[in-house]
Amino acid sequence: MSAQHWLVKTEPEAYAWSDFLRDKKTTWDGVRNFQARNHLRAMKRGDHVLFYASVTTKAVLGSATVSKEFFPDPTATEGDWSAVELTLGKTFPRPVELADIKAEPSLADIPLLRQSRLSVMPLSKAHHDLIVKLGSKPAK
């Protein structure tokens, strides 16, 4: 089975790209939305992940890979929540800002724009590859 593609969102104040660059690997935990939790549970080792910094940054900053499939979220004190482990991929030469994504007609139906509050979402390979291509362009 071929790899799936995902986008995860975080508030830079909670876990910034610079933290990920330092850590090289992280447990993606703290997700408290059932739909996002189910997406975490669907992630498989080797899946491709885009890292989106929300709130102040509003941009895809780089990539990661799922290195450990879902396990019980260590931050959950109650409920049935899950986490995955992500390993750092690459920093994009140019952040793909939300405005760039909104300006690209072929990205109009991605979950980031349709369900903006969702913190873990699937992407098609085509949408993933287009965002990576946009991020691979030289810095503005």
- The pTM of this model reads 0.96
pLDDT digits (tens, 9 = 90+) for 52-102: 999 999 999 999 999 999 999 999 999 999 999 999 999 999 999 999 999
Give the pLDDT score at 1.
65
Rounded to whole angstroms, the Cα distance separating 121 from 10 reads: 12
Give the pLDDT score at 94.
96
Rounded to whole angstroms, the Cα distance separating 69 from 19 reads: 21
Candidates 3.40.50.1110, 3.10.590.10, 3.90.550.10, 2.40.50.140; CATH matching 5-136: 3.10.590.10
C-alpha 37 chain-centroid distance:
13
pLDDT digits (tens, 9 = 90+) for 6-52: 999 999 999 999 999 999 999 999 999 999 999 999 999 999 999 99
Give the pLDDT score at 26.
98
Contact 28, 40 (CB under 8 A): yes
- pLDDT above 90 coverage of the chain, percent: 94
Give the pLDDT score at 2.
84
Query: How many CA within 13 A on the CB side of residue 51?
Result: 26
* Residue 78 token pair: 């109650």
Residue listed under structure tokens 């030289």: 138
Within 8 A by CB and 6+ apart from 36, the residues are 118, 119, 120, 121
| Helices assigned H by DSSP within the chain | 17-23, 34-42, 98-103, 111-114, 125-136
Rounded to whole angstroms, the Cα distance separating 4 from 137 reads: 23
Three-state DSSP class for residue 111: helix
Q: Give the strand pairing for 5-10 and 48-53.
A: parallel
The residue extents of the domains of the chain are 5-136
